[in-house]
Amino acid sequence: MDFTISKDVEELKQKVRSFVEEEIIPLEGQYDYETGRMPEDINQAARKKVKSAGLWTPHLPKSEGGLGLDMTGTGIIFSELGRSPIAPYIFNCDAPDEGNMHLLHLAANPQQKEKFYHPLIQGEIRSGFAMTEPPPGAGADPSLLATNAEKKGDKYILNGHKWYCTGAKGAKFLIVMSKVNGSFRKSTLFLVPTDSPGYEMVREIGVMGSHGPGGHCELKFHDVEVPEENILGRVAEGFRLSQERLGPARLTHCMRWIGLARRSMEIALTFAKSREVFGSKLSEHEGIQWMFAESALEIESGFLLTLKAADTLKRKEDARQIISLAKWQVSETLCKCIDRAIQICGSLGYSRDLKLELFYRDARAARIADGPSEVHKMVISRNLISGKESF
């Protein structure tokens, strides 16, 4: 593998780094701890600056307004955006919209792209991806999917209960995973506008970390009529297409997490080099130095794992094992690095004078979302035991 960063990507990386440092990170002071999100007028003003700078939707092809990056280049740029938790939305490449754009690019027909994809690219609307269900429905085990769509003429009648649907509050449409006629083997993705009769947003669920623009919501579908033309792909392609979406989405999460882990340790390093305790700088104490060394090893290892996974996807090879390795390792690294940064900064790190406590609350979801660490460990070990993968 050649991990050499091309001159164009390196220049873009530096441009994005500067923009995030100068334009985005100063906005973090506007974060509203009561609502768990940024004021939307500030987001929109920043989004205009991103468009003017030519950095909008960096993950998309140039033909669709993006920067034409391959998966490796996208990962590198996303690691810069991840330095601020508010940057991905401002650049129009935050979850779930970024993953939904990827899926619509792959599977939507021209009419669906005109109605759903192009407004999403422009940042005119937001979307949600509705797959997870309350018990006994599907969580980490998609075979437990309970939401069902019954074929009635040229329509499907959708009934189901979803939750933790990120971005659903204020979204214009959802991509909904559902069985068809009671068969999991016929699981299908449906494009469901949120003004459809019978759709109910039950509540925005209170969570430990940031809510983002659309929260994490509980939804119900009561006899929602979905026309045949709103099937994404074809009937029975739901599980395959969801994996087409979730694999790259896990990697883009990883790269954002790498960026946030790096910034957290940089905050701690700045503090440690200025703080004097027991007659010397905090950074001169061996115990603190080892904490920096451990974080450096974990961050670099996660970065390289993620680049390898991106390269595997780029070569259109089976990337499931390496994606699971990367997602598990980087999600754990993020939590450990922020925890160390808080410990190094002491009471200041625990306070809201620094952003580390916000990062810490957000980071805890990383080990659960997009497959909990335990499921990825199970997948990795099963592949090894079956002989599909080797050490």
The enclosing domain of 365 has a CATH number of 1.20.140.10
pLDDT at res. 280? 96
Q: Are 302 and 333 in contact (CB under 8 A)?
A: yes
Residue 391 in domain: no
Q: Provide the number of structural domains found in the chain.
A: 3
Q: Are 193 and 240 in contact (CB under 8 A)?
A: no
Among 122, 139, 170, the domain-final residue is 122
Residue 142 in domain: yes
Identify the CATH number of the domain in which residue 133 sits: 2.40.110.10
Distances (CA, A) of 193 to 109, 127, 131, 239: 16, 9, 16, 21
pLDDT at res. 342? 98
Q: Are 117 and 104 in contact (CB under 8 A)?
A: yes
Beta strands at 276-277 and 280-281: parallel, antiparallel or unpaired: antiparallel
Residue 226 sits in the same domain as residue 323: no
Residue 269 sits in the same domain as residue 282: yes
Residue 221 sits in the same domain as residue 314: no
Residue 188 sits in the same domain as residue 96: no
Which one, of 280, 298, 287, 388, lies nearest residue 343 by Cα? 287
Residue 244 sits in the same domain as residue 377: yes
Domain interval for residue 88: 7-122
> Tokens 């579908």 — which residue?
221
Which one, of 142, 121, 120, lies nearest residue 130 by Cα? 142
Identify the CATH number of the domain in which residue 77 sits: 1.10.540.10
Residue 191 in domain: yes
Residue 146 sits in the same domain as residue 204: yes
Cα–Cα distance, 272 to 197 (Å, whole number): 57
Residue 134 sits in the same domain as residue 215: yes
Residue 96 in domain: yes
Among 90, 107, 122, the domain-final residue is 122
Among 232, 255, 287, the domain-final residue is 232
The low-confidence residues of the chain, meaning pLDDT below 50, are: none
Residue 77 in domain: yes
Residue 1 in domain: no
Cα–Cα distance, 256 to 244 (Å, whole number): 19
Residues 6 or more apart in contact with residue 114 via CB below 8 angstroms: none
Write the single-letter amino acid at 218.
Answer: E
pLDDT at res. 192? 98
pLDDT at res. 55? 97
Q: Are 322 and 246 in contact (CB under 8 A)?
A: no
Cα–Cα distance, 145 to 217 (Å, whole number): 18
**Rg, C-alpha atoms of the chain:** 21
Residues 6 or more apart in contact with residue 100 via CB below 8 angstroms: 120, 127, 129, 175, 245
Residue 69 sits in the same domain as residue 207: no
How many Å from the N-terminal Cα to the C-terminal Cα in the chain?
18
Whole-model pTM?
A: 0.95
Residue 17 sits in the same domain as residue 82: yes
Record the tokens describing residue 341, joined without a space. Answer: 């940064």
SS3 for 223? strand
Residue 180 in domain: yes
pLDDT at res. 4? 82
Residue 365 sits in the same domain as residue 265: yes
Residue 2 in domain: no
pLDDT at res. 243? 87
Residue 108 sits in the same domain as residue 29: yes
Residue 287 sits in the same domain as residue 379: yes
